[in-house]
Amino acid sequence: MDRKQGIAGNREGLFRKNEDVIFNWPDKIFGAAIMLLSIAIFLIILYPLWFIVIASISNSNLVNQGQVVIWPKDIRFYGFEQIMNDSRIWLGYANTIFYTVAGTVLNLVVTMPAAYALSRSSFKARNGVMLYFVFTMYFSGGLVPLYMTISSLHLISTRWILLILVAVNTYNLIVARTFIQSSIPEDLYEAAVLDGCSHFKYFAKVVLPLSKAVISVLVLYYGVYHWNEYFNALMYNSKAEYAPLQIVLREILLLNQVFSQGVGSVQGGYAQGAMDQVRYAVIIVSTVPILCVYPFVQKYFEKGVMIGAVKG
């Protein structure tokens, strides 16, 4: 009897194993297909970046002839030498770092208190004020009226316009407001009030320490925005000494400006090819800082998406 039960049990186990194999192989095929598709997309995205790297150190004549595909040829660092000797690049770097640091600090100073105020249920007008902020996401006064307003305030071609004009971003405000509403219990405020804590002290002593996650997200979002910002600088600034790095990059890439040293005097008819090499080198120099920082802060991008996905 025990032998028959053992045989039956083995048959049942074998049947279940075969059943698992039959029903799991579509999932395995689907998983393999997704993996192959992901690898293909990764390579498609990676190759243009790799091509810029190898083109920046290759003979531009060979690049233009299509001979540089995977590996650099006739390696030369003329483009990087020109960048090192051009003061516009370093001035643009200094301006961009200033705008990124000062602008991000100003953004946090404005966004976090506003998010806290709009998260308070005791603030009766919060929905109306929030509607005013959301309205600006879809409608604006237009470029010409905005320019006339900025001009009347005498802020054209000043450093401050590139900071004040983007003092708060509505989407980031919604993210911060949602986080405070969903992550900080109301009981903490009631306990703080019993201890004689005011709104300002509660915000500084309780809300900010508990909001490190969303503050990290906002620093990342605002910092990347300021680093890549060029439209406001293009519209409202005409002074070269205030131009951020992206404007300098735009002048080199789109306006085809010749560097003040070296390019025009290259012998052997290599001037135009050298200019192409300079373009590729400028792209690398302007994007390397963000590319180096991103792997360490990628988790905050994901966290910001999850915070913004919560309805508040």
SS (H, E, C) 172-204: HHHHHHHHHHHHCCHHHHHHHHHCCCCHHHHHH
How many other C-beta atoms lie within 10 A of the C-beta of residue 97? Answer: 15
User: What is the spatial distance between Cα 135 and Cα 155, in angstroms, rounded to a whole number?
Assistant: 25
| The length of the chain, given as a count of residues | 312
Asked if residues 252 and 79 have their Cβ atoms less than 8 Å apart, the reply is no
Which tokens in the block code for residue 98? 């200033």
Q: Which residue has the higher pLDDT, 264 or 111?
A: 111
The residue-averaged pLDDT of 71-94 equals 81
Vertex 248, ends 244 and 253: CA angle to 5°? 145
Please report the pLDDT score of residue 12 as a whole number.
56
User: What is the spatial distance between Cα 266 and Cα 234, in angstroms, rounded to a whole number?
Assistant: 31
> Does the global pTM surpass 0.85?
no
Which tokens in the block code for residue 20? 């698992």
DSSP code of residue 58: S
**Which of the listed ranges 10-14, 98-102, 198-202 does the model predict with the highest average pLDDT?**
98-102
User: What is the spatial distance between Cα 307 and Cα 301, in angstroms, rounded to a whole number?
Assistant: 10
Residue closest to 83 by CA, chosen among 282, 292, 308, 289:
282
Residue type, 12: E
Residue 23 pLDDT greater than 60, yes or no: no
Please report the pLDDT score of residue 260 as a whole number.
43
How many other C-beta atoms lie within 10 A of the C-beta of residue 23? Answer: 9
Which tokens in the block code for residue 19? 């059943």
Please report the pLDDT score of residue 298 as a whole number.
67
Percentage of residues in the chain having pLDDT higher than 70: 79
Say whether 159 sits in a helix, a strand or coil. Answer: coil
Side-chain half-sphere of 162: how many Cα atoms within 13 Å? Answer: 30
Using 50, 70 and 90 to split pLDDT, how confident is the model at 161?
confident
Residue closest to 173 by CA, chosen among 205, 134, 144, 142:
134
Please report the pLDDT score of residue 18 as a whole number.
54
Q: Which of 254-263, 284-293, 295-304 has the lowest mean pLDDT?
A: 254-263
Residue 3 pLDDT greater than 60, yes or no: no
Please report the pLDDT score of residue 106 as a whole number.
93
Please report the pLDDT score of residue 29 as a whole number.
82
Please report the pLDDT score of residue 270 as a whole number.
36
Using 50, 70 and 90 to split pLDDT, how confident is the model at 307?
low
The residue-averaged pLDDT of 37-65 equals 84
User: How does the average pLDDT of the chain come out, rounded?
Assistant: 78
Please report the pLDDT score of residue 265 as a whole number.
43
Say whether 257 sits in a helix, a strand or coil. Answer: coil
Please report the pLDDT score of residue 262 as a whole number.
46
The residue-averaged pLDDT of 179-195 equals 83
**Which of the listed ranges 2-11, 27-36, 71-80, 172-181 does the model predict with the highest average pLDDT?**
172-181
Q: Which of 137-141, 142-146, 301-305 has the lowest mean pLDDT?
A: 301-305
